[in-house]
Amino acid sequence: MHDAPTWRKSTYSTEQEFGTCVEVAELGDKLGVRDSKNPGGPHLSFSREAWAAFVGSIRSRAL
């Protein structure tokens, strides 16, 4: 039996602006991302490499 993932609010989320919050969790060798307003809903999962590339693109304003 697997333990339930521990979801935490992203440090980049802001509830003050439009209520846009995401939560992240380690899911074995992947990272999960979900909408904090719908914790029972679906989530997206990314390889660590894909997530690092995504965040790097945002930081460099390439996206």
Answer yes or no: is 2 within a domain: no
Helix or strand holding residue 33 (H, E): strand 30-35
Instruction: Indicate yes or no: pTM above 0.85.
Output: no
Q: Which domain holds residue 29?
A: 8-59
User: Would you say residue 3 lies in a domain?
Assistant: no
Q: Is residue 37 part of a domain?
A: yes
Q: Give backbone dihedrals phi and psi of 50, rounded to 5 degrees, phi first.
A: -65, -40
Exposure string for 22-58, b = 16+ CB within 10 A, e = fewer: bbbbeeeeebbbbebeeeeeebeebeeeebeeeeeee
Domain count, the chain: 1
- For the segment 6-38, what is each residue's pLDDT rounded down to a tens digit? 999 877 666 666 666 889 999 999 999 999 888
Contact 1, 17 (CB under 8 A): no
pLDDT in tens, 43-61: 999 999 999 998 899 889 8
- Largest Cα–Cα separation, the chain: 41
